[in-house]
Amino acid sequence: MNRTFCNVALAVPLRTTFTYAVPEQLRAAVQPGVRVLVPFRQKSVVGVVVDLPERAPEKVKIREINKVLEVIPALTPALIELGHWIAGYYLAPVGEVFRAMLPPVMELRTQQQIRITAAGRQLVDSTSSALSEEFAAEEIALLLKLIAKNGALLASTLEKSGLNTALLQRLARRGLVEIRQSLLARKQRMQTILAWRTEDTEKEEITPQSQEKRVRPLQGKALEKFQQQIRRVRELLEAERGPLPLPQVLKLTDLPRGAVERMLACGLLYSWEEPIDPAEDPFDVGYAPPAHELNPDQDMALKRVRARFELGEFGVQLLYGVTGSGKTEVYLRAIQETLARQKTALVLVPEIALTLWMGRQCRAWFGARFEGVAVLHSALTDVERAREWWRVRNGEARVVVGTRSAVFAPLECLGLIIVDEEQENSYKQEETPRYHGRDVAIVRAKMENTVALLGSATPSLESYHHATTGKYELLTLGSRVENRALAKVEVVDLREEFQQTHQASSISTPLRAGIQECLANGTQALVLINRRGYSWSVLCRSCGASVQCANCSISMTYHKNRNRLECHYCGFVAQTPKNCPKCDSKYVYFFGEGSEHLEERLRKEFLTARIARLDRDTTRTKRQYQETLGAFAGGALDILVGTQMLAKGHDFQRVTLVGVISADGLLSMPDFRAAERTFQLLTQVAGRAGRGELHGRVLIQTYYPEHYAIQDAVKQDYLAFFERETNFRRTLGYPPFTSLANVIVRDTNLEKAIRWSRQLSEYFSPHNGQGVRILGPATAPLARLKKEYRFQFLLKSPKRSLLTKLLAGALDHCEANEIPDTAMIVDMDPLSLM
């Protein structure tokens, strides 16, 4: 391989890589997949080497790379290939794709071991005369030294004795030695987590008197500065992120440690210690995983998975199992089987909370002693994420559990990719690169010639369609374990309810009676509501204006505890208005019940019940989440209120009632998938009831009881829903029968946004009807988001390749006409058309 030049992908919004020259002294260390530091424009930036071209392009000035950042390439060749595929398929800038795939650049304490390989030994054993011609004396000396030391030495020892690294790399490239890297044990096992103490805004005003005696009071300029620092920390810990580890707070706010300590002393913050390593989590201690005898359905499914492994080739299997049918048990055994074949396994779950649960299952089955399981998700700190990534890369973990981006885990010898709850929207990344984790998992399985196992109780229409056409293999678990009955689902018609009671309570008479019955019997209830916050709309009765976000065309949500309005799209925060911001009338009213309000209502109605709420506001940390779920599972709570978070995955044994406050919010979304999402959510949440020995009952409140999505959910009839919805999609030409792309043109300046969408429209129009149907430009449903005005085109085609070609052309057209790269968003296979 020629190492004079390398092509580097940089995290910039451009669809190309850049060629750099490699200075002599770095040649040994440069190889595809390593990260390097290079000059770009006026800056020095990190990029990843994707290949080593023979020669550089002509007529451009070639600059040199500055530094190689890692010994072992972060990316494997397979991942480089996958990255290129993503860039091509989703029309995403290649550098941003690789940035999304990689962990943060971190200095981790590692240890490198040099081992002689079988080839190395053989070479030394063969005749010494032949050796001396081909190899330098120092190379042979090194091999002999390794043999003398039982075949392996630490790199640090070798370096001390004056080893030249180029020599080592040369031997490694010829396969005579191998370099292994392992992470050194952490010095610290615990970390300090910081949280904002009060939800009371007034507390923010620090006066010299309010500072505690322990700290020397600040005054004047210093006090002013401290107050600014407080605001910064508060923004971060309260509004943006929730509780965080101390080092991360310091890094993100750029504050000195002393300032944070002062805040702790003043009682503005509180802190606790938490193990750094999830494997040491107290919630895992003493956990014994269930290991059941498989029932005939499970056994059949596992046999088919095994048969797939035997074939030793790519295949997709769809495990369609009703809620409570024991899919997890099938996954765990499939992983076990994979490990027994000396291969590795990847398990994707739709949200962070489920990584905790699945991670624990996997650790209990496979990892406890060998630390064989790694967990990857976006809420880890940079150091944690880098550590977990390198543990996988170094071969120390052979099972990875994670959310969407874990699909890029650098496992080698991959034998199985599981995508649990494959229908979930959270697998889709809604920022560049806009990839779908499930689809990338399938492509990765194909590239690495291995098996993808998708699981769901309510498969996406796309996946089940592929199963009916034979593209995927269908595995079915038709009934709940031990033949437990599915819960009985009933509809509460809110129109009738209103006629009878003339009250607008969100809790209907039947739901109230149901909850009372639970409380009387000592069983538990789950109550689902689709929005968080107290009220999702603030209206003026006098002029009819609603309070909108300053940056988005979205109404602000009122949060009562925090006493303020928040935009759930951009995080913008405003004070709770006393008067109407438009006409100044004092008839401001809060409308549309959210989870916070529902919790309050339940507490008022059921005075003795023990109630908790589970939504994004109450589960900012893993700890809060685990405590609430732990309390509920352990019987310390009677009612759990929450958002969609409640619907997924959990296996509570004593829940006999599930109430759905309203099925209508999702159903009325302006989106062709609205019915599908409603059906899925209702089925999933209904699946939380009656999982133990007790029978379950589900009450769905709605104004549209006759809608088929609700009717089929009541009957828990996936196949009926699938038939009806498939016909609808076929007739109207929606996926899976056509390919879809959503194009958004955006800018903070309205005129520019209009001009560019017009230009793009001119480019598109001669192509309209040539195998691609182009709708738009129209104002996007979210007409303004994060200060940007948005226009939308929707492109449909029965042939995906036509779409890709047309859109690649559109991007070139933008470039040629100096429309900025970030002004046009291409969303292939969009899930949200907002």
The distance from CA 330 to its chain's CA centroid, rounded to whole angstroms, is 23
Kindly tell me which of 480 and 597 has the beta carbon lying closer to ligand ADP. Answer: 480
**Of the residues 517, 651, 664, 821, which one makes contact with ligand ADP according to CB under 6 A:** 651
627 Cβ contact list (under 8 Å, min separation 6)? none
**Of the residues 7, 181, 325, 458, which one makes contact with ligand ADP according to CB under 6 A:** 325
**Of the residues 243, 278, 324, 433, which one makes contact with ligand ADP according to CB under 6 A:** 324
Pure H helices in 274-351:
296-311, 327-340
Neighbouring C-beta atoms of residue 210, cutoff 10 Å: 12
**Of the residues 65, 580, 760, 782, which one makes contact with Zn ion according to CB under 5 A:** 580
With residue 490 as reference, give the H or E element that holds it.
Answer: strand 488-493
At closest approach, how far in Å is the CB of 253 from ligand ADP? Answer: 41
Query: If you compute the radius of gyration of the chain from its CA atoms, what whole number of angstroms results?
Result: 29
**Of the residues 570, 609, 633, 825, which one makes contact with Zn ion according to CB under 5 A:** 570
What is the token pair recorded at 368? 């406890």
538 binds Zn ion (CB under 5 A): no
The distance from CA 791 to its chain's CA centroid, rounded to whole angstroms, is 27
* DSSP classification of residue 653: S
Site string for ligand ADP, 244-283 (x = CB under 6 A): ----------------------------------------
What is the token pair recorded at 238? 């309260």
Round to whole Å and give the CA distance between 407 and 101: 9
With CB cut-offs between 5 and 8 Å by kind, which of Zn ion, ligand ADP, none does residue 294 bind?
Answer: ligand ADP
Kindly tell me which of 112 and 684 has the beta carbon lying closer to ligand ADP. Answer: 684
Backbone phi, psi, residue 558, to 5°: -85, 130
HEC states along 582-596?
CCCCCCEEEEEECHH
# chain residues binding ligand ADP, by CB under 6 A? 17
What is the token pair recorded at 94? 């290649």
582 binds Zn ion (CB under 5 A): yes
Pure H helices in 502-557:
509-521
Site string for Zn ion, 117-156 (x = CB under 5 A): ----------------------------------------
Would you tell me the crossing angle of helices 94-101 and 77-89 to the nearest 10 degrees?
130
With CB cut-offs between 5 and 8 Å by kind, which of ligand ADP, Zn ion, none does residue 580 bind?
Answer: Zn ion
CA-wise closest residue to 718 among 468, 515, 532, 378? 468
With CB cut-offs between 5 and 8 Å by kind, which of Zn ion, ligand ADP, none does residue 540 bind?
Answer: Zn ion
312 binds ligand ADP (CB under 6 A): no
At closest approach, how far in Å is the CB of 420 from ligand ADP? Answer: 8
Sole window of 76-84, 543-551, 632-640, 669-677 interacting with Zn ion (rule: CB under 5 A): 543-551
At closest approach, how far in Å is the CB of 654 from ligand ADP? Answer: 12
At closest approach, how far in Å is the CB of 356 from ligand ADP? Answer: 15
Beta bridge partner(s), residue 38: 45
* DSSP classification of residue 237: I
295 binds ligand ADP (CB under 6 A): yes
300 Cβ contact list (under 8 Å, min separation 6)? 475
**Of the residues 17, 169, 229, 298, which one makes contact with ligand ADP according to CB under 6 A:** 298
Is 134 within 8 Å of 174 (Cβ atoms)? Answer: no
Is 832 within 8 Å of 671 (Cβ atoms)? Answer: yes
Kindly tell me which of 138 and 299 has the beta carbon lying closer to ligand ADP. Answer: 299
How distant, in Å, are the alpha carbons of 2, 119, 260 from that of 20?
13, 34, 43
At closest approach, how far in Å is the CB of 292 from ligand ADP? Answer: 3
Pure H helices in 634-707:
664-667, 674-686
321 binds ligand ADP (CB under 6 A): yes
Give the footprint of ligand ADP on residues 327-356 (CB under 6 A).
327-329
Sole window of 79-87, 160-168, 286-294, 434-442 interacting with ligand ADP (rule: CB under 6 A): 286-294
**Of the residues 47, 326, 350, 533, which one makes contact with ligand ADP according to CB under 6 A:** 326
**Of the residues 292, 306, 730, 799, which one makes contact with ligand ADP according to CB under 6 A:** 292
Pairing of the two strands 451-456 and 473-477: unpaired
323 binds ligand ADP (CB under 6 A): yes
Give the footprint of ligand ADP on residues 471-510 (CB under 6 A).
481-482
Residues found near ligand ADP in the complex (CB under 6 A): 290, 292-295, 298, 321, 323-329, 481-482, 651
Site of interaction with Zn ion (CB under 5 A) = 540, 542-543, 545, 549, 551-552, 567, 569-570, 572, 580, 582-583, 585
